[in-house]
Structure 1
């Protein structure tokens, strides 16, 4: 039986039963898409493969790497005034 990582600190990502939310999210999104276009079994398979690949990706990177990538692409805006615009790549004096 594989070991299950339980959160030990307050700032650990939230869990849905035994899985981290960021592991379950791609599967649930693909499941909903599969239900909407009436191709559920195909998208369940694609979802399982996506979860496996994302898990490997996440384990080989630092914590918060995916969130930083989303910010860099402009998909996760920050409401703070001190956070710079992600589309400004060069700052001139």
Structure 2
């Protein structure tokens, strides 16, 4: 039987049973798409595959890697004074 670590600190990832939020969200999203399109079983299988693929992809990467990647590619614009436009790669002084 595989043992799972119990979160002891505030910074630890929240879990739903055995899975982290990042692993459960693709499954829940695909279930919603499956309910809307009336093909729940197929989209549940796709959701499990997406969750598994994401967990395999993010194992060696730091937390928030995909959010950073989406921001850097310009897919997730952020508001605020601390964020610059993602496509401005060089910042020159005034």
TM-score clears 0.5: yes
TM-align CA RMSD: 1.9
* CA separation of 1:6 and 1:78: change in aligned 2, threshold 3 A: farther
Gaps of 5+ in 2: none
Gaps of 5+ in 1: none
Whether 1:90 aligns to 2:90 is yes
Residue 82 of structure 1: how far off its partner (Å): 1.7
Normalised by the length of structure 1, the TM-score is 0.81
- Matches of 1:86 and 1:11 in 2, distance apart? 27
Count, aligned residues: 93
Normalised by the length of structure 2, the TM-score is 0.81
- SS at the partner of 1:61? coil
